[in-house]
Structure 1
Amino acid sequence: MRDIFRKLASALHPDRETDPAERGRKTALMQRANVAYAANDLLDLLGLQLEVDQIDQTGLDNLGDDRIKQYNRILDGQVSQIKFEIIALETAFSLDMGWEFGRRRTPKAMMRGLRADIAEMRANVKHIEAELDTFSDLKKLKDWLKDYRIVVNDPAYGDSWF
């Protein structure tokens, strides 16, 4: 990867360019190369080489088997890392949504769940609006407070009413 990056840096370094428009293009390409190299993203570096015509089909045909195997090992590692990141994102999303761990969701099932959540939230809003109406009338509020009881579930005492 270092060799690929060095070749790209040599070809794309904007300080070597006199044309302002070309300098801007090379600056953007060099930034992409820097990001790809920092992320150890071989695929992006190879893509940049293709984009700036550093390699062509002849260059690809002349790559040695050892070099191709090395590239494949790096790319396999990147695929494994991406799979791990996807699993982590899916797990976090499932936990946030209150779904059981590891169960795949279809878009249809997710939409059904979303519709159910929306319906529940609308019911909660109606309930809160009704309570707000109650609390805005002093007499209704006093009546409500007289009837209001907090239930504390304590195994040592059973259900207690306060």
Structure 2
Amino acid sequence: FNKAWERVANQQKKNDRLREQIKTFAEQVSEAVEQQEKAHVTTLYQSCEHLLVFYGRKSLAAWQREVLMEWILDYIDTITRNPFAGGIDLAALYQAMDATMEKIHPEAFDPFQDDEPHSEHDFFDEMADEDDASIFEKLFSDFQDDPRFDEFFREQESREQQLKDDQQSFNKLMKGGSINKLFRRVARVLHPDREQDEKARQEKNRLMSELIEARDNNDITTLFAFYAEYVGQSPLEELGGDLTDATQLLNRQYAQLRSQHADILHEDPKTAALYQRFHKKTIKASQREINTHLENLQQDINNLTLFCKEVTSLNKLKPYLQMRWEHFNEERW
């Protein structure tokens, strides 16, 4: 039991250290790049508005209009994938795009539709629905044919079964009385009503919440740790006949914590994106990566701003459309 508990406690500390390391690094990166990232997505948004003005020009050829819309959608995609774009509201842009598309392609809109404005998912998502459905069917079919398909579902079933087993083991321990007795002894020590000082009462409230959460989540590691810290004794003395079941549950929790360690990076999408993008082997290397990224962002902002300032007519825009068309065809072939 002591060995199993020690392994779980050490693995939990290891997980907590990694989680804190990733969080701290991501916060530092966020502080360094947030202002520039927001300036970049704002400039991209303004560039979309600028390009959309040209889409309504009747003298554009069909291929030019297609390239122009792809250009705008590329910028929108960049905005939506940026973790710092939370302050950008694309609704107005989508409505402007809908209005422009309806003007140029009235046949694509239902004349009997209601007066409600299109959401960002209406027109452009509808155009892609059929393609998305066929792509999904093909991907799912390919996935079913993949030999890893059965392995994936076996792993899912195994995890679900493990959760059921853990719940049953914990319920058995609770019925045995020893875990419940551990919980009650810690709860008596931490009960906030025993405190006269307001700050101490708030701290006891916080600890009681953690204790109850540990019990509700079958987290006997935390229950044991609380018992050792606040009661001042090893939980081993209280377990009695439940010792074997408790040890088995600890061993399973250790395996879960080890598996969890590999997934910590992906617990928060924004944190994961920043850590994977900028974390290097040394602090200096990470800082160089951040500095280079900031320089590239500023250069892109300058280029976008200059483009909007200088490209004010179709004659000035058309060479850019030609270049993008040629680049698109080169990538296709």
Q: 1:120 to 1:19 in 2, by over 3 A?
A: closer
1:145 equivalenced with 2:317 (yes/no): yes
1:29 equivalent in structure 2: 207
1:39 equivalenced with 2:217 (yes/no): yes
2:281 equivalent in structure 1: 106
Structure number with the higher helix fraction is 2
Distance 1:62 1:146 in 2: 81
Distance 2:291 2:268 in 1: 20
How far the C-alpha of 1:68 sits from its partner, in A, is 6.9
Distance 1:49 1:28 in 2: 16
Distance 2:223 2:216 in 1: 11
The C-alpha deviation readout for 1:95-120, integer Å capped at 9, x for no partner, is 99569xxxx84244433332222121
Equivalent position SS for 1:149:
helix
Equivalent position SS for 1:56:
coil
Which of 254, 258, 271 aligns to 1:76? It is 254
Task: Specify the code of the residue in structure 2 equivalent to 1:83.
Answer: H
Normalised TM-score (structure 2): 0.33
How far the C-alpha of 1:78 sits from its partner, in A, is 4.4
Q: 1:40 to 1:115 in 2, by over 3 A?
A: farther
How far the C-alpha of 1:89 sits from its partner, in A, is 4.6
Task: Specify the code of the residue in structure 2 equivalent to 1:118.
Answer: L
How far the C-alpha of 1:130 sits from its partner, in A, is 1.2
Which of 130, 141, 146 aligns to 2:306? It is 130
Q: 1:110 to 1:83 in 2, by over 3 A?
A: same
1:117 equivalenced with 2:298 (yes/no): no
Structure number with the higher strand fraction is 1
Distance 2:203 2:306 in 1: 61
Which has the higher mean CA deviation after the structures are superposed, 105-114 or 65-74?
Answer: 65-74
Identity, in percent, stands at 19
Q: 1:88 to 1:149 in 2, by over 3 A?
A: closer
Distance 2:277 2:190 in 1: 49
How far the C-alpha of 1:125 sits from its partner, in A, is 0.9
How far the C-alpha of 1:124 sits from its partner, in A, is 0.1
Distance 2:302 2:203 in 1: 57
Distance 1:10 1:111 in 2: 50
Normalised TM-score (structure 1): 0.58
Listed as ranges, the gaps of 5+ residues in structure 1 are none
Q: 1:45 to 1:61 in 2, by over 3 A?
A: closer
Q: 4+ residue runs of structure 1 moved beyond 4 angstroms?
A: 10-14, 17-26, 59-65, 89-92, 94-99
Backbone CA RMSD of aligned residues: 4.3
Equivalent position SS for 2:218:
coil
1:5 equivalenced with 2:5 (yes/no): no
Alpha carbons 1:42, 1:74 under 8 Å: kept: no
Task: Specify the code of the residue in structure 1 equivalent to 2:307.
Answer: E
Aligned length: 145
Distance 1:55 1:68 in 2: 19
For the pair shown, which has the larger CA radius of gyration, 1 or 2? 1
